[in-house]
Every structure is written in C-alpha cells, then in structure tokens.
Structure 1
Amino acid sequence: MQPRQQIRQQVRHARRQLSAEQQEHAAHAVMTRFMALPSVIASQHIALYLSFDGELDTAPLINACWQAGKSVYLPVVHPFSQGHLLFLHYTPTTPMQSNRYGIAEPKLDIRYLLPTHQLEVIATPLVAFDDRGQRLGMGGGYYDRTLALCAHPSATAVGLAHDCQHWGQLPTEQWDMPLPHILTPSHHWHWSATNSRPLS
C-alpha cells in the first residue's frame, strides 16, 4: 500500500489537471446532489469551505444555500488551540483574510461564531477517499477533530470530491474519521453505520 503522502501528491496532481470546464461541470453536479440530501433540506446551519488547490469549487454550493435561506459557516484556524477549527457565519459581505496556509477565511469575530455542536451539516474537503468512506486530508487532522467533537444528534458529515479523488483502499490511522456521505459529480457514496459498503 502506498504511503499517505505519495497518495496525496498523485491525487492532488490529477485534481489540478482538470480543465475549467470540467471544474464547472463538477461543481454544479455536486451542488445539485448536495442540495437534494434530506439532511441538507432539513438543516439551517451548514458548514462549508472555500475551495483551494484544485478542490471541487464550492462557490455554486454556497450560493445555493444562501438562496435557500440557509446559514453558511466557514472554518477558521483556531488561534490558540492547535489543530482545531472554529466556524463563523459567512455572508457575501464577511471580511476575509488569508490564514497560515494561504486559504481565505473570515476574520475572527466572536459575534459570528457558532459552536461546533450546533452545526447540522458539515461539508468536508478531502484529498482522497476510498470504498469504505475513509477520507485522506492534507495531514493536519483539522476535520477529524471537528467531526469527533461535533455532538449534534442529527449532524451529517458530507465529503465533497472530484471522481478522480477516489482511491480503492487508503491507509488509515486510528484517529481517522470515516464519512457517511461522499458526493462526486457522478456518484453519491453512502455508508450506513452497519454497512461498510457504499449503498448508492
């Protein structure tokens, strides 16, 4: 089995090779799948993220949530608790800044902070995913910690990815948090709590 960092390099390279037309098609296809999820339809507080390094473009998805009257929250790297994220309410007029990774995030303002356990849907970025719902991130563990801390009884985690990010079987660590849903342009991967195989 290939080392995690080697898989990251290969998949990120494949992702960056996608054309603007392919990116646009993928973004709208995943947006349609995401907005049709029953958990999204029933939710008000949805955590999303801004795309980076060839990730699936989340702008159409964010706009669709706004148009549906839902509140969107973006991650902010916690300034004091290493490896953790905060989630701030995001609107078209939210002041933004670049974090230590060069990713745009809202300027920290506790007036717009939502406790993680109040998030109802958490869309997660990923570098690769496999047939068991395991995700491979960038290696910082931010979303594994976020998902472990999210205590909302009906919270749903949804991975967003291009089809080229599918990997047969990923090497895992004990702290890795598998996802119940992963959406790609061509497929909705869904794993139940008792079934390790994709249901659709």
Structure 2
Amino acid sequence: MTSLNQSQQQRQALRKQVRQARRALSDDQQRCASEALLSYFCESSEVKNASRIALYLSVDGEIDTQPLIDACWQQGKEVFLPVLHPFTPGHLLFLLYRKETPMKANTYGIAEPVLDVTAVCPVTEIDVICTPLVAFDAQGQRLGMGGGYYDRTLTTKGLKATPIGLAHDCQQVERLPVEAWDVPLPHILTPSRHWRW
C-alpha cells in the first residue's frame, strides 16, 4: 500500500511541477511552440491518412491546439472534441466540431460541444486521437490529470485510432512512475520532435 501511495504522491508532485512550467511560458513562447508543433502534426503520415481526428481545446498552459484544428478543417478532415459522458462517469464521448458548434463549459470549466446525439461519433470510427497530457517520458508513458478519461478511451474494444500525445518540450520528465492502468502512447509530438515507439 505504501508503494501505491508513494507513486501517487510522486505523480501529484510531477503534475504540479510540470503544470507550473508550462503555465510559465510567455505568449511568444506559446505561439512559437504551437507553430513548430503544427509542422510535425501536418507532416505525420498518421494525420495525413486520417479523415476523422479527435482533438481538444487547450487549457492551463497546454500547447495551443487551435492551429491544428484549423489545419484539419482546411484539409477537409472532420474534427471531434471530447465531451464528458452524461451517463457513464469517467468516460468520454466525441462530438463533431465545426466553427458554428454551440459550446458550454463542463464541470471542469473546459469548453465542450453541447451534447447533440446526431453529432456523436463512435470512438471506434475515429482515425487519430490527439490526447492531452501533463507529462511524458522517453518510453512513451503519459501522465494525465488523474481522471483516467483517456486511459479508458484508449482501451476501448475495437479501437483502431492512432493515439498521439501533444505537449511542450518542458513536459518531458526523466521517468514517470507507472500504474497498471496507464496506457503508453505510440506517438508524442512536441515543438522539437516527433517521438515514435
């Protein structure tokens, strides 16, 4: 029990440390990082071959995903955003997102599309799922906010989507404490490189 508590304490400390680091980035640093990330995103064969891409809206110093969303729209790709599942706590739905999509704040204060069953896409029909993360290591392990939403999504039966983590370079740590439920990522994009495992 002690080791689990110790691991959770380490994870919480890392979350705090890395979130502070990315929030400390200036507007110029954020803009440059987002532009550099966009080039890796657009050059990725996984993205080039995808027609349905799940993205998310950046908060809390996360690297800006709006340029990625705009690039997908320009290329005629369908963009989907996560919505907290109204009946199954801890799970996500993915809704089609367009410029005119009505939005609302969820329980975490994050903007998400207003629930519309006609806009829901089964996660098994999405080609690429871009995942937010707080920290990552050189083994492809991802540390999220602790809710497990994306870990559950990425273990969905029949999932064919390629998961791609998006992060600032300052979010890389030497090694993450890993739990049994953690799902490592095959790809992580940062402003300086495309990590592949």
What range is the shorter-chain TM-score in?
over 0.9
1:40 corresponds, among 36, 47, 61, to: 47
Which residue is equivalent to 1:178?
A: 184
Q: Distance in 1 between matches of 2:140 and 2:58?
A: 21
1:131 corresponds, among 135, 138, 158, to: 138
Which residue is equivalent to 1:23?
A: 30
Deviation at 1:161, TM superposition (A): 0.2
Which residue is equivalent to 1:68?
A: 75
1:149 corresponds, among 134, 153, 156, to: 156
Which residue is equivalent to 1:94?
A: 101
Give TM-score, length-normalised by structure 2: 0.94
Runs (4+) of structure 1 moved beyond 4 Å? none
Which residue is equivalent to 1:122?
A: 129
Which residue is equivalent to 2:4?
A: none
Deviation at 1:39, TM superposition (A): 1.2
3-state DSSP class of the match of 1:3? helix
| RMSD of equivalent CA atoms | 1.0
Checking the alignment, whether the CA contact within 8 Å between 1:133 and 1:178 is kept in structure 2 is: yes
* Aligned sequence identity (%): 61
Q: Distance in 2 between matches of 1:66 and 1:124?
A: 18
Deviations 1:88-112 (A, max 9, x none): 0000000000000000000000010
Q: Distance in 2 between matches of 1:23 and 1:118?
A: 32
**Runs of 5+ consecutive residues of structure 1 not aligned to the other structure:** 192-200
Aligned residues: 190
Amino acid paired to 2:44: L
Deviation at 1:152, TM superposition (A): 3.8
